[in-house]
Amino acid sequence: MLVAAVLLLAGFVLIERLASAPLVPFAFFRNETVRAANTTMLATGAAVIGLFYFLSLYMQKVLGYTAIQAGASQLPLAAGIVLAAGIASPLVARIGIRTVLLSGLAMFAGGLVWFAQVPVHGAYIANLLGPSLLVALGLGLAFVPITILSVAGVNDREYGLASGLVNTAQQIGGALGLAVLATIATSRTNHLLASRHPLDQALTSGFHSAFLAAGGFVLLAIVAAATIGTRRVKRPAPAPRPTASPKPETPRPRPAGGPP
């Protein structure tokens, strides 16, 4: 299947290069801001999907939550992302895109490190609510600037392409990241089980490794975001508006008997 995927990807690249109207013109990637934004989203997506996956497993396999309880316990995280995204736009206008983005990614990384400290016999209020809110604030502040940067300097006719690419980067990052993080967590858990550690301890330690590795993905996102120069983030100049043609003057009627 991997070989087939590589062949299909190579065929896609070949067709796009030969097509007169390609779906993805590769000259589009010459935009450095767009490249950096998609790289940042790729790494961030790898961490986000892994976070929700292993957090749900920790709640159900270690703490004994039901699926409904685990889902309800993540509602503050989801609501926090929505609220943080609402304040991200005015912050971007006030202190700048890169500052907000780097701050959000740093908070996200800090929340993942905090999650990596959860104990075997954890409690929601004491061990999960705090890092959940920190991650929510970080993600809300990060996603808005990434979205803005993904279309920075893009022509009007390329907005759809730019939007599709940044969403694709998030999905690909999530798929690849989850595969890597699951391998890390499973390897750690199996090693501890082979050393006759209790199952709960082995699972929790594996989840710790996954959370820390997800934090490593966020560090890669920070590096990619730091390469974005503020002078590059600009909108394309609007097209000049057509000037109205001057109206022809209407000749004034001359008074009867007046001079010519």
Each residue's pLDDT tens digit in the chain (260 positions)? Answer: 989 999 999 999 999 999 988 888 888 888 888 999 999 999 999 999 999 999 999 999 999 999 999 999 999 999 999 999 999 999 999 999 999 999 999 999 999 999 999 999 999 999 999 999 999 999 999 999 999 999 888 888 888 999 999 999 999 999 999 999 999 999 999 999 999 999 999 999 999 999 999 999 999 999 999 988 654 454 444 444 555 545 555 555 555 554 44
Helices of type H across the chain: 2-18, 32-57, 67-73, 75-95, 97-115, 129-150, 159-194, 199-226
The single-letter DSSP state of residue 117 is: T
**pLDDT of 151-194, one tens digit each?**
888 888 888 999 999 999 999 999 999 999 999 999 999 999 99
Block residue for tokens 């939550």? 65
Cα angle vertex 133, ends 204, 113, to 5°?
Answer: 40
* Confidence (pLDDT) at 235: 45
